[in-house]
Amino acid sequence: MPFIKDILKHRSLAVAGMEKNTGKTECLNYILERIESKTLKIAVTSIGVDGESTDIVTSTSKPEIIIKEGIYYATAEKFFKTRELVSEIVDLDYYSTAAGRVVTSLAHSAGKVILAGPSESSALKSWMNRLGRERGIEHFIVDGALSRVSQASPAICDALILATGASLSISVNTLVSKTIHLTELIKLPATESLSETKADNLPNGIYSINGSEVVTLFSGSVFNIDGESLKIIAKESSIYLCGVLSDRFIERVKCLKEINIKNLIIKDFTRIFLSPENMIWLDHIGIRLEVVKSSNLLAICVNPVSPSGYTLDSAQVCDLIAERSGIAVYDIYRLRDEIKKCY
Amino acid sequence: MINTLETASPVSKRYFLDSSFLKDPEEITREYSAINETVKDIHKSGSTVNLIFSYISDLKEILGTIEKLSSGDTLDDVELFEIKSFAFISEAISNSIHPLNILIPRVESMKQVIEILDPDRSGSKSFYIFDSYSEELARIRRELNLNPGNTSLYNSSLLLEHQIRERICSELKVFGKNIRDNYLKIIKLDILISKARQIIKQKLCIPEISKEMISFKSLFNPEVEFYLLQNGKEFQRTDIDLTNGVLLITGSNMGGKSVLLKTLALSQILCHFTLGIPSERAKIMLFDSVSLLTGDDQNTKTGYSSFSSEIIRINDTICRLKKGERLLALIDEPARSTNPAEGSALAESLINILSEIGTVSVVTTHYSVTTERCRRKRVKGIIDNKMDYSLVDEQGYEVPKEAINIARVLGADNEWIDNAEKIFNERKHI
């Protein structure tokens, strides 16, 4: 029973897919099937709509989310009306999704559901806090939907499981390198120079960090930074970039004569949009990337089958990713077979 | 002021924003007495008020659901959950409200509603069609657990659930009016507590409703004071009395005349919405409306100049007054944007008309207006290079000539100001 006991070490877990059809739902079902729901209080939600039986985009069949008795689940009012299990409503969130208010209920029987909870970070945070406080829920499992790696932000969840697979690329090399690239971003170390609370209060811009002193060097969107400000920034040794770190920004830094930056701090890995080449360049000139909120990557799940039916060599992909990332990698198909055996 | 009114539930804030401009003195007095008692209760039994306030924070907009229930419709589980949650909030408030003053709305107990929706007496606000509603349902559900996917069993369970919902709703229907009354009482209570809290927090006062005068002791503008305090400065408070007739205020530029008019308008409106008044003591007369004419409405798009738009607005006020509307007229520098000869004539004539009509009005001006038909006050002005904003009685017709001095204090170009002073002095001698 891989990674289940690791999940229980954390209050919240996000299951994020790098692409559609990477087996995220399979992975979620695997967890929900195995997790102990009689003694532990567990709530599951999705930051998008998930659990529909046919994929809207590719028209291929999709696994449905199966909830067993004793699990709390969040769904929108519209989907709650179509539930097929006995559910006790425990919370009604007036934060609305496109399909109505969010209804959280406790399953009194097993059944299939469509998950749809709060999709904004702040609403999700307050939902988790409220259920924790009022219902004593100890563990939250958050399903990220449709290439929304950025929404399953570690700013919300303490731990992460990444789903990757043939739908991302049917070339083993591309699939492995893309996955490894993201894994490296997720594994970026947490900074010691800036606390989360301090960073949360800063608006978009660039700041120099000197001990406990935070000085604003540039305010506003980093995309609009002017050449003069950039020169000043490059002279500092430790800077916090609040916003998105893009390839364009790095290309402009590359052109400067004088670069003293040693530490470049970003809020979390979802704010980094850098090519592997630029990552290597940063490493080469001695700029260390750090994040304010680091993520705990528990496992990587691979779906070797693409939506068009092409199947990759599962063992090869898993081994390559595991070897290069140092993270446990599981084939979603093998897990699926295990689930089938249980029924 | 509206933004700083912090209700426990956003629902109450919406109700407050939808509330009307009160004109009935008895209603306003009654409302203020309740607020006054709430202020006392906060000082006396603050923890009870805080507790009630925290219960109210869970209140959600459910009037639609209540109406649906009262009209005899069958509610779904989500709606029944809303009613049940509300009944628990009511019960909690009703159990803790006893120490508070009798003027504060009495939220009633919802025990019977809770009994219907909590058949297991679990005390939890969660809801579904509980097994205990029907033995048969419990039996079918047990069978379903043993045979998951049995459609006929599942369908009969759904049918049974629906019948139970119908039964519950018909039992609840008789309480529809009580639930609705309680809901509105809780909203009223929330608004009351938040008004009282605002009065304490911002050091506002509860006014006395008067028939013949408006009087403020230490009136202040909360917004201006807030910004001054942020910059380490203090707001100089003003005492002012108004009766029927015109009060003409003169004084140098930057003497706080416009701020005073805006603060008077604000206080008047706050009173009609029974909010605290930004002063130490206040007596307020009631009006149908407040007419505050200040600022420049020049609009190049509609082709109105500063002058024309001002004349249109003043004229509107005069017409409304002539029709018998009871207005508090606050007019900042009428006819300021035209030549002083005609401008002062327009201003003087306006004062005469306002005085004739007899409503309470305040007019400010830089013109030397000679009419006798108004009381006169003057902003003290610059003393030892410092502005004194207090109002003093003024006997003569002359207005202060401090504009050049103030322009100099503001750091305007020396050549410009020196030359202006020279021209001004030469003209004085002619």
pLDDT of residue B20 exceeding 50: yes
Residue-wise burial string across A10-27, b where 16 or more C-beta atoms lie within 10 A, e elsewhere: eebbbbbbbbbbbbbbbb
Same domain, A203 and A264: yes
Q: Which two tokens stand for residue A17?
A: 């897919």
Facing residue for A89 by CB, picked from B81, B144, B145: B81
Bigger pLDDT: A149 or B381? Answer: B381
**Inter-chain CB proximity B144 and A89 less than 8 Å:** no
**Nearest-CA distance from B111 to chain A in Å?**
20
**Inter-chain CB proximity A108 and B128 less than 8 Å:** yes
pLDDT of residue A156: 75
Contact present, B9 and B59 (Cβ < 8 Å)? yes
- Residues of A in Cβ contact (< 8 Å) with B148: 109-111
Mean pLDDT, residues B42-46 taken together? 90
In a domain, B423, yes or no: no
- Residues of A in Cβ contact (< 8 Å) with B78: 77, 80, 89, 92, 101, 103
Nearest C-alpha neighbor of B214 from the set B330, B82, B310: B330
**Inter-chain CB proximity B126 and A106 less than 8 Å:** yes
Output the CA–CA distances (angstroms, integers) from residue A55 to A21, A61, A116, A163, A234, in the order listed: 9, 6, 15, 17, 47
Tell me the pLDDT band of B268, cut-offs 50, 70 and 90.
Answer: very high
**Inter-chain CB proximity A90 and B60 less than 8 Å:** no
Same domain, B49 and B145: yes
Last residue of a domain, one of B195, B223, B242: B195
Contact present, A125 and A11 (Cβ < 8 Å)? no
pLDDT of residue B412 exceeding 80: yes
pLDDT of residue B256: 85
Same domain, B183 and B120: yes
In a domain, B428, yes or no: no
Facing residue for A87 by CB, picked from B128, B148, B154: B128
H or E element that contains A332: helix A332-342
Residue A82 forms contact with B (CB below 8 Å): no
Residues in chain B: 430
**Inter-chain CB proximity A89 and B141 less than 8 Å:** no
Mean pLDDT, residues B368-394 taken together? 82
Over chain A (343 residues), what is each successive 10-residue block's mean pLDDT?
79 85 82 85 80 49 76 90 89 79 92 84 87 93 61 69 87 90 90 87 91 89 87 92 91 89 90 90 93 89 85 88 90 66 43
**Inter-chain CB proximity A105 and B141 less than 8 Å:** no
CATH number (domain holding residue B368): 3.40.50.300
Same domain, A299 and A200: no
Report the domain count for chain A: 2
**Inter-chain CB proximity A86 and B78 less than 8 Å:** no
Same domain, B277 and B316: yes
In a domain, B393, yes or no: yes
**Nearest-CA distance from B339 to chain A in Å?**
47
Same domain, B191 and B211: no
Same domain, B89 and B14: yes
Same domain, A309 and A259: no
- Residues of A in Cβ contact (< 8 Å) with B125: 90
Residue of A nearest to B10 (CA): A94
CATH number (domain holding residue A286): 3.40.140
Count the helices and strands in chain A (H runs, E runs).
Answer: 11, 18
Choose, out of A80, A86, A135, the residue to mutate when testing the contact with B (most B CBs < 10 Å): A86
Same domain, B234 and B346: yes
Put simply, the chain A residues between 96 and 125 with a CB less than 8 A from any chain B CB are 101, 103, 105-106, 108-111
- Residues of B in Cβ contact (< 8 Å) with A89: 77-78, 81, 126-128
CA contacts within 13 A on the Cβ side of B109: 6
Residue B77 forms contact with A (CB below 8 Å): yes
SS3 A71: strand
Residue of A nearest to B138 (CA): A86
Q: What is the spatial order of strands in the sheet that A288-291 belongs to?
A: A213-219, A205-210, A238-242, A263-266, A288-291
Same domain, B352 and B392: yes
In a domain, B429, yes or no: no
CATH number (domain holding residue A168): 3.40.50
**Nearest-CA distance from B127 to chain A in Å?**
5
Same domain, A245 and A149: no
Contact present, B360 and B244 (Cβ < 8 Å)? yes
Q: Is B298 left (phi over 0), alpha (psi -120 to 50) or beta?
A: beta
Q: How far apart are alpha carbons A338 and B402 in whole angstroms? A: 91
- Residues of B in Cβ contact (< 8 Å) with A80: 77-78
Q: Which amino acid is at B157?
A: S
Output the CA–CA distances (angstroms, integers) from residue A261 to A216, A313, B5, B398, in the order listed: 16, 43, 48, 68
Q: Which two tokens stand for residue A270?
A: 């979802």
Same domain, A324 and A256: no
Which of A39-48, A84-93, B95-104, B310-319 is predicted least confidently? Answer: B95-104
**Degrees, nearest 5: CA angle B365-B368-B374:** 70
| Domain boundaries, position B352 | 207-399
- Residues of A in Cβ contact (< 8 Å) with B65: none
| Domain boundaries, position A66 | 4-187+295-342
**Inter-chain CB proximity A106 and B81 less than 8 Å:** no
pLDDT of residue A153: 64
Helix intervals (H) in B45-175: 46-56, 63-70, 77-96, 111-117, 135-146, 151-173
Which of B42-56, B222-236, B297-311, B331-345 is predicted least confidently? Answer: B297-311
- Residues of B in Cβ contact (< 8 Å) with A68: none
Same domain, A330 and A233: no
Same domain, B276 and B215: yes
Q: How far apart are alpha carbons A126 and A129 in whole angstroms? A: 5
Same domain, A145 and A246: no
**Inter-chain CB proximity A110 and B81 less than 8 Å:** no
pLDDT of residue A145: 54
In a domain, B165, yes or no: yes
**Inter-chain CB proximity A94 and B77 less than 8 Å:** no
In a domain, B405, yes or no: no
Same domain, B119 and B226: no
Q: How far apart are alpha carbons A19 and B190 in whole angstroms? A: 48
Last residue of a domain, one of B145, B174, B195: B195
Helix intervals (H) in A214-313: 227-235, 247-254, 276-284
In a domain, B422, yes or no: no
The pTM of the full predicted model, rounded to 2 decimals, is 0.80
Same domain, B178 and B243: no
Beta bridge partners of B245: B360
Here the ipTM equals 0.75
Report the domain count for chain B: 2
pLDDT of residue B302 exceeding 80: no
Pairing of strands B208-209, A213-219: unpaired
Nearest C-alpha neighbor of A99 from the set A161, A62, A52: A52
CB atoms within 10 A of CB A74: 26
**Nearest-CA distance from A222 to chain B in Å?**
30
Same domain, A177 and A50: yes
pLDDT of residue A335: 66
Put simply, the chain A residues between 143 and 182 with a CB less than 8 A from any chain B CB are none
Residue B61 forms contact with A (CB below 8 Å): yes
In a domain, B421, yes or no: no
CB pairs under 8 A between A and B: 40
- Residues of A in Cβ contact (< 8 Å) with B145: 109
Q: Which two tokens stand for residue A146?
A: 């449709």
Q: How far apart are alpha carbons B383 and B360 in whole angstroms? A: 31
Same domain, A65 and A108: yes
Last residue of a domain, one of B169, B195, B221: B195
Same domain, A169 and A82: yes
Mean pLDDT, residues B378-391 taken together? 79
pLDDT of residue B83: 95
Same domain, B312 and B362: yes
The string of DSSP codes covering B207-237 is PEE-SSEEEEEEE--HHHHHHHHHTT--PPP
pLDDT of residue A273: 87
Same domain, B185 and B219: no
**Nearest-CA distance from A28 to chain B in Å?**
21
Facing residue for A103 by CB, picked from B78, B141, B145: B78
Last residue of a domain, one of A291, A306, A330: A291
Same domain, A10 and A35: yes
Same domain, A141 and A64: yes
Over chain B, what is the mean pLDDT? 90
- Residues of B in Cβ contact (< 8 Å) with A106: 126
Output the CA–CA distances (angstroms, integers) from residue A72 to A105, A154, A235, A248, in the order listed: 5, 22, 52, 44
Per the listing, tokens 């049974």 go with B160
pLDDT of residue B251: 81
